[in-house]
Structure 1
Amino acid sequence: MTHDIDLSGVYPAMCTPFDENERIDFETLREDAQRLESAGVDGLVPVGSTGESATLSHDEHVEVVEAVIDAVDDVPVIAGSGSNNTREALELSERSAEAGADGLLLISPYYNKPEQRGLIDHYETIADAVDLPQIVYNVPSRTGRSIEPDTAIELASHENVVGYKAASGDLGQIGEIAEGTRSEEFAVLSGDDALTLPTISVGGTGAISVAANIEPERTCAMVGAALDGDYARARELHHELGPLFRHLFVETNPIPVKEAMAIRGYGPARLRSPLSRLSEEYRDDLEAVLADLERSDAESTTSADGGPEAGR
């Protein structure tokens, strides 16, 4: 089929909030989806790595997808539905499609470390069976195996494989995939906030972003400026966000971003075991980074309203 989903812009990789009994806090989840939609994001990605999908049951996984879909009005919802078991990934993908997801994000099989031919078989099995736009997700630091450029380029020829989330940290590899898929309707999306701007510069179309949970407007402004070719503005915003990018990865994602969500009042910092709360040694610095961003927002607003900064 021809998919009409536009995989450009900013897609926050959403957190999954939990209550004091480690049950999913659906009310907070829906409020968060609405907050992000109101901030101008281009879509939402629940139940990925940031959404602690590894600790959710299959039923919980689908319930989160359904809750996010029900909460928003006009943005696509891309459901994380990957697994290291092809049959399990296929089941999650089919159930996400039945729930109404607009697309799928599929992490490459982790732990069992398939060869490249196994990766192709895995993704093609799901793409043949589920008629939704699908994004291949490469994050070798979590999976132990990288999706090589030739593999990604071959998969891009499948009509249902429409994008690639790049979280390898290898800009050369990312550029090679963007180069090799220029003749396809194929999106290369940054999966590493610190590399979003460089990724766009070599042909990327946007980001599946952790930082956008905290600073959605500024992240959207950075990506929008870059896609419009205004790299001076995009670089300025990239540097404003740089401390946040770094502090959101001082410990395993989503530990820091959940702490930042709690500091901002967007949701609880609770995580399911084996993940634990952010170490105290990092919390003060994270609070300071968030305060600096809020301060700069306030100064920009004052300037725009004709306050003390206006006319300087």
Structure 2
Amino acid sequence: MTDIDFTGVFPAMTTPFHDDERIDFDQLQADARRLERAGVDGLVPVGSTGESATLTHDEHVEVVEAVIEAVSDVPVIAGTGSNNTREALELSERAADAGADGLLLISPYYNKPEQRGLVEHYRTIADAVDLPQIVYNVPSRTGRNIEPDTAVELAAHENITGYKAASGDLGQIGEVVERTQGEDFSVLSGDDALTLPMISVGATGTISVAGNVEPERTCAMVGAALDGDYERARALHHELGDLFRTLFVETNPIPVTEAMAIRTDAAPVLRPPLTRLSEEYREELAAVLEGLEDETVTEADAASPR
């Protein structure tokens, strides 16, 4: 297994589409190269932000392959979760065959498995696929919380080396950090607004939505926090505060897709049942992005530890 240092900023990439909803691979690869130049520590395609739920299995693999092809110096962690173990295993095996460096696995959604079912699910994939794997806890989407006992049990598996925390429960997240300190195991923020607080209790970085739009500033914030410069980190956190809030005024990835259309050549297209950001929020988002453009982040500030 190739080791990955899950430290720093790993943007949860959007999947751009043409007006007819075909994947825009040219824009996807341009996004990947832009993020790599900005200093991110890895890329996470085909997660929730990448509209994994609206892609076919073949499209999953094609997106992963395209991102791998576009970058040269950062790991690619493919989203391969599903609501059933057999499908998640198939996606994971195909991503591994495509050359992914690691896997991000959302817990099975809709089914609401018991904690023992979650352990069996993740262990089945970790036993079969020899890549570093991140367990993703987002109860608001899945309907089931991965309890700390379950996370700690999973951390003992050599291939399960990370935990993406998007429960909003800082106490629970801190407990997972505390109880896995003896393992080769990283806790990563899955909630941009809580990244700085999570790092303060031991998280090592973030799988970030905002990192698509403001990669330099996000890297600067995370890098400062990891270096112990909390004065600088807090200043950047507050600079990004309006963006963190605006990117979640509607279901992710609706706002970030609109933001990418403003900042890049991407079209503001999502696949149904997702819809374009409501007009009432577009002006607000544009104003937030314009305000951030008035600030500058130096290359030294943006450097994130690797």
Tell me which residue corresponds to 1:233: 232
Tell me the distance in 2 between the aligned counterparts of 1:264 and 1:189: 26
CA deviation after TM superposition for structure 1 residue 265, in Å: 2.1
Q: Which residue of 2 aligns with 1:213?
A: 212
Q: Decide which moves more: 39-48 or 262-271.
A: 262-271
Could you say if the C-alpha distance between residues 266 and 182 of structure 1 is closer, same or farther in structure 2, counting changes exceeding 3 Å? farther
1:263 corresponding residue in structure 2: 262
Q: Confirm or deny that 1:30 pairs with 2:29.
A: yes
1: CA distance between counterparts of 2:147 and 2:265? 37
Other-structure match for 2:94: 95
Distance 2:49 2:3 in 1: 26
* Residue 114 (str. 1) matches residue 113 (str. 2): yes
Give the alignment's Cα RMSD to 1 decimal.
Answer: 1.1
Cα deviation, 1:20-42, whole Å, max 9, x if unaligned, reads 11100000000000000000000
- Inter-partner Cα distance in structure 2 for 1:10 and 1:265: 20
Aligned to 2:155: 156
- Residue pairs, 1:64-75, within 5 angstroms: 64-75=63-74
CA–CA separation in structure 1 for the residues paired with 2:181 and 2:268: 41
Match of 2:59 in 1: 60
Kept after mapping to 1: 8 A contact 2:19/2:267 = no
| Structure number with larger C-alpha Rg | 1
- Which residue is 1:223 aligned to? 222
Matched residue, 1:286: 285
Higher relative contact order (CA 8 A, sep 6+): 2
Retained in 2: the 8 A contact 1:32–1:266?
no
Q: How far does residue 179 in structure 1 lie from its aligned partner after superposition?
A: 0.4
2:3 touches 2:132 (CA, 8 Å); kept in 1?
Answer: no
Q: Aligned with 2:163: secondary structure?
A: strand
Q: 2: CA distance between counterparts of 1:163 and 1:184?
A: 10
Q: Pick closer, same or farther for the CA change 1:270–1:137 going to 2, 3 Å.
A: same
Indicate the residue corresponding to 1:306 in structure 2: none
How many residue pairs end up in the alignment?
299
Q: Is 1:249 the equivalent of 2:248?
A: yes
Aligned-partner Cα distance in 1 for 2:68–2:114: 35
Cα pair 1:225 1:233 within 8 Å, conserved? yes
Indicate if the aligned counterparts of 1:14 and 1:48 stay in contact, CA closer than 8 A.
Answer: yes
- Would you identify which runs of 4 or more consecutive aligned residues in structure 1 move more than 4 Å? none
Partner of 1:162: helix, strand, or coil?
strand
Of all paired residues, the percent bearing the same amino acid is 79
Three-state SS of the structure 1 residue aligned to 2:30 is helix
Residue 165 of structure 1 aligns to a residue whose secondary structure is strand
What is the SS of the residue equivalent to 2:295?
helix
Tell which deviates more after alignment, 151-160 or 257-266: 257-266
TM-score w.r.t. structure 1 length?
A: 0.95
How far 1:266 moved relative to its partner? 4.4
Q: Deviations over 1:57-91 (max 9, x none)?
A: 00000000000000000000000000011000000
The amino acid of 1:67's aligned partner reads: A
Within 2, Cα distance between the matches of 1:284 and 1:221?
27
The one-letter amino acid paired with 1:187 is S
1:200 — aligned with what? 199
Deviation at 1:291, TM superposition (A): 0.6
Aligned residue identity for 1:90: L
8 Å contact from structure 2 (residues 47, 79) kept in 1: yes
**TM-score (norm. length: structure 2):** 0.96
* In structure 2, C-alpha distance between the alignment counterparts of 1:135 and 1:264, rounded to whole Å: 29
User: 2: CA distance between counterparts of 1:246 and 1:282?
Assistant: 12
- What displacement does 1:267 show? 1.5
Residue aligned with 2:203, SS: coil
Rounded to whole Å, the distance in 1 between the matches of 2:272 and 2:166 is 24
Q: Is the 8 A contact 1:37 1:72 kept in 2?
A: yes
Work out the CA distance in 2 between the residues paired with 1:86 and 1:143: 14
* Distance (Å, rounded) in 1 between the aligned partners of 2:229 and 2:264: 33
CA separation in 1, counterparts of 2:44 and 2:267?
Answer: 19
Unaligned runs of 5+ in 2: 299-306
Whether the 8 Å contact between 2:6 and 2:205 is mirrored in structure 1 is: yes
